[in-house]
Amino acid sequence: MFRVNKPKPYKVPVTNPNFDKQAYKDIKVLVKEEDVRFVVAGRAVVAYTKTTVGIGGRMIAVAVAYCAPEDDFKKKIGKYQALLKMYDGKFIQLPLAYEFDEAPFDLEDLLKAMFDL
C-alpha cells in the first residue's frame, strides 16, 4: 500500500530581539583568537578568558548572562549575551589565571558553583 504523509504545519520562525545572528558569527572569530571559554551553570552562561597573555598574569575576566525563569533558555543566546557583556567591558576580574592554565576542569566547577542560582 502507498501511504501519503500529511504535510507538516508551517512554523513561523521566532526571532529573538536579543540575538543578532550575523554579529554572533562575527564575534565567534574573536572568541577563538582570544581563547574565551564557556560554562553553563543552571540558567546562566559564564564566559571567561585570561586578561593578560603570558606568564605572570593572575586575572581572568568573567562575564555572566542569566536567563529569566519565564524565558526559554537557549545556550547560544546566553553565549552571545555573555560575549557582548565581556566586549562592552561589563565583566569582573578574578585571580584565577593559574587554574585557567593548569586546572581548567576545576575552574569550570568553581565558576559553576559561583554563578549557579
Alpha-helical runs (H) found in the chain: 21-34, 75-87, 97-102, 104-115
The Cα-based distances of 58 to 17, 36, 61 in angstroms read: 37, 16, 10
Q: Is residue 57 within 8 Å of 28, Cβ to Cβ?
A: no
- How does pLDDT run across 28-78, given as a tens digit for each residue? 888 888 889 999 988 999 999 988 766 667 899 999 999 988 888 889 999
Decide if pLDDT at 19 tops 90.
no
| Block residue for cell numbers 565581556 | 86
Q: Determine the pLDDT at residue 100.
A: 86
Reduced DSSP (H G I as helix, E B as strand, rest coil) percent helix, strand, coil of the chain, to 5: 40, 20, 45
Residue 93 has pLDDT above 80, yes or no: yes
Confidence of residue 8 (pLDDT cuts 50, 70, 90): low
Domain 21-112: which CATH number of 2.50.20, 3.40.1350, 3.30.160, 3.30.70 = 3.30.160
- The residue-averaged pLDDT of 93-100 equals 89
Place of cell 557582548: 84
Query: What residue segments make up the domains of the chain, in order of their start?
Result: 21-112
From the number of C-beta atoms within 10 Å of its C-beta (0-12, 13-18, 19+), residue 107 rates as buried
pLDDT tier, 14 (very low <50, low <70, confident <90, very high otherwise): low
